[in-house]
Amino acid sequence: MNDFPDIPEEEDTLYLISINPVACPRPRVTNKGFVYYPQGYTKFKKELEFKIRELEIEPYPKETPLILRARFFMPIPKSKKYIGFHYKKPDLDNLIKSLCDGLESSEVVYNDSCFVQLDCVKQYSPNPKIMFQIQIAEFE
């Protein structure tokens, strides 16, 4: 099923990663000046990289402008029944950053600065996951 109706399925591949989306946090700094990310995010990033590599996505050339379309399916809280858009934390921009970091570390893209357009949504789902497509951008 194509969750992006404006894109024909036969032209672009829709990738699915069954993982609970985690937002990229701010880096931490020790008293000695070393910069690091929290352990939970580091673990998530390694798992995301592994799952992206399993998809065997052909790497995009270095200087290619790309479009990223993504949906982040967030877990439904046990306390209430939510449907529709996820309008609480984590912020969408930080979820996008974690996906872009995973695409870069798994060498699908040379650098996440190649994304010239983003079309992203976060919504509640009983099955947390990340779905995404990458397209080559064409200048009109």
| pLDDT value for 12 | 72
| Chain centroid to CA 81 | 25
A 10 A CB-CB count for 123 gives: 14
| pLDDT value for 11 | 54
CB 136 within 8 A of CB 82: no
Q: Crossing angle, helix 92-105 and helix 39-54, to 10 degrees? A: 60
**Consecutive 10-residue averages of pLDDT for the chain (140 residues):** 43 88 93 92 95 95 94 89 84 96 95 95 95 90
pTM: 0.86
Domain ranges of the chain: 12-23+33-89+117-140
SS3 state at 42: helix
Which is nearest to 12 in space by CA: 119, 123, 121? 119
| pLDDT value for 85 | 87
| pLDDT value for 61 | 92
